[in-house]
Amino acid sequence: MPAISQFLTSLLTAMVLTIACTTAAAQEHNRLPQIGTTGASFMSIEREQLIGDFYMRQVRARAPIIADPVLDSYLTEIGQSLVRNADNVRYPFNFFWINNSEINAFAFMGGYVGVHTGLIQEAHTESELAAVIGHEVAHVTQRHIVRRMQEQQRNVPMTIAGIVGSILLGMASPEAGAAGLYTTLGMSNQSQINYTRLYEQEADRIGMGVLADAGYDPAGVPSFFGRLAEKYRYVSKPPEMLMTHPLPESRIADTRARAENMRQVNVTSSLEFFLAKARIDARYTKANTNSELQQHAQSDDPMMQFYGQYALAIRALDDGKAQQAEQILAPLLNADPRNRFFLDVQTDILLAQERYSDALDMLNNAYQRSPNEPVITLNYANAAMEAGETQRSIELLRHFLLENKNHVLALDLLTSAYEKSASRAAMYETRAEALALRGNFKLAIDQLHTAHNHTDNDITQKRLNARIDQLRIQQQRAEDVM
């Protein structure tokens, strides 16, 4: 099994945030407690955020996160629509993709939710995808991690250092990491199952309510879980999610009964859902061959036609056939000229053909309609840099980062723009911010010292000194968290 799969398995186990787990019988539904507001005496919200921030920095550094503005925007929009309809939201949520074909998702402290590319490939509808995300949002809002840690602390002393250390060890040596994790948790299997059962029941119940309130079909929960359980019932190696947390009939029946009693929503999946699936298929999971995509493009189903044509355009572009890609994409772009999925690919086509003026004109018009929108802004900045207009790129990215200061891709692009413009101090300073977001505080501080040496401006030097002090404090806090 790949190391990253083991890493995420350990992550899910350590944080006790599961998508599928043994549940109690359906008659227990109405006795479930509202436990989300508890745990405050064990860990404050501020400390929970601090731990989540630290852990996310490690994930950015080590996990195969997809830096794709189009996919990021799509996932964030689904996630935030669910968060807006959830109770007990104590801090902002962040959603990100993991390039992994395993069917899985996970969440941890601080409102961070990761979704595998394999999950959307398995989902048949947007409501099924949203169902899993809503379940993870419920785990976070109900503070299930803190509750689990609090309960475990009563039995066997446990440190965050032990948990996170085992997870990080699991990246290099999966078996050693798992062994260290189980030793750290020091719990019996029965106690883990019993306690997780309550979490899963509550996450199902609250997650389905959030799902319906956000306008999705709550039947997406039993539909997805039921199909997954049936599909892999007799296989020798089921998905990682089912291997670690099986789906008994009781849970599927439970969610089906809940969906039948809830307000039914006749929801159709958006075009963006199919385009996101196609983009992931074309570039990441490679679930379909080109011949199969051709069949989709000729389907009687309009959504599958979009799926096939869009994926084929991306495949042609990635194979160095820009003209062919443009011909395939043209009818899609003509039908929906403001669609971000299409604009993104068309930008890359124009840049591959060195038609820089066309790319900049197209993106400038889009930017005027939607200033600072992530997909348009990042494409515009990249196109400007490729066209040799580095100052325009720098201005776009700096303005974007005022509202999105933790956007790693934007920082990486800005670092490149400063390098091309020979702005050495600014380049090192920006690179330091990207390194800090990946948890490498030591190297980030070194970069700031180098930036200091590349400027004679007294105000800039003072700002850099102040930032060095801030990062040292963050570095110390990260060590204290452990």
Question: pLDDT per residue over 407-443, tens digit each?
Answer: 999 999 999 999 999 999 999 999 999 999 998 999 9
Judging by DSSP bridges, how do beta strands 94-98 and 105-108 pair with one another?
Answer: unpaired
Q: What mean pLDDT comes out for the span 101-124?
A: 88
State the burial class of residue 358 (Cβ atoms within 10 Å of its Cβ: 0-12, 13-18, 19+): middle
Q: How much is the average pLDDT of 184-202?
A: 53
Candidates 62, 99, 80; CA nearest to 280 is 99
Q: Is the pTM of this model over 0.85?
A: no
Residue-level pLDDT at 128: 93
Band of pLDDT at residue 237, cut at 50, 70 and 90: low
Mean pLDDT lowest for which of 85-89, 334-338, 471-475?
85-89
- Residue 234: partners with Cβ closer than 8 Å, 6 or more residues away: none
The catalytic position among 136, 213, 254, 348 is 136
Classify strands 94-98 and 112-116 as parallel, antiparallel or unpaired: parallel
Cα distance between residue 303 and residue 125, in whole Å: 12
The arithmetic mean of pLDDT across residues 13-26, rounded, is 35
User: What is the mean pLDDT of the segment spanning 252-276?
Assistant: 85
Between 229 and 119, the more confident residue is 119
pLDDT at 17: 37
Higher pLDDT, 454 or 30: 454
200 in a known ligand binding site: yes
Residues contacting 128, CB < 8 A, separation 6+: 220, 223, 224
What is the CATH T-level fold of the domain 288-481, as seen in this structure? Answer: 1.25.40
Strands (E), 203-242: none
Catalytic residue among 72, 204, 217, 281: 204
User: Which parts of 63-106 fold into alpha helices (H)?
Assistant: 69-83
- Res 182: pLDDT: 38
Q: Give the domain ranges of the chain.
A: 3-261, 288-481
Instruction: State the average pLDDT for the chain.
Output: 81
The pLDDT of residue 286 is 92
Judge whether 22 and 248 are in contact, CB under 8 Å.
Answer: yes
Rounded-to-integer distance, Cα 270 and Cα 466, Å: 47
Instruction: Evaluate if residue 122 carries a pLDDT over 50.
Output: yes
**pLDDT band at 216; cut points 50, 70, 90:** very high
pLDDT in tens, 370-400: 999 999 999 999 999 999 999 999 999 999 9
Lowest pLDDT segment from 47-51, 291-295, 302-306? 47-51
pLDDT tier at 9 (50, 70, 90 boundaries)?
very low
Q: Taking every pair of C-alpha atoms in the chain, what is the biggest distance, in angstroms?
A: 72
Residue 244's pLDDT is 47
Q: Is 348 a catalytic residue?
A: no
Q: 442 is written with which tokens?
A: 């030591």
Query: At residue 41, does pLDDT exceed 80?
Result: no
* Confidence grade of residue 179 (pLDDT, cut at 50, 70, 90): very low
Residues sharing a CB contact under 8 Å with residue 41, sequence separation 6 or more, in sequence order? none
Confidence at residue 192, expressed as pLDDT on a 0 to 100 scale: 44
Residue 144, sorted as left (phi over 0), alpha (psi -120 to 50) or beta, turns out to be alpha
272 is catalytic: no
- Kindly state the tokens that stand for 194: 């019993």
Give pLDDT, residue 391: 97
Smallest CA-to-CA distance from 285 within 80, 115, 74, 107 is with 115
Residues 6+ apart with CB under 8 A from 191: 155
pLDDT of residue 159: 56
Q: Are 139 and 196 in contact (CB under 8 A)?
A: no
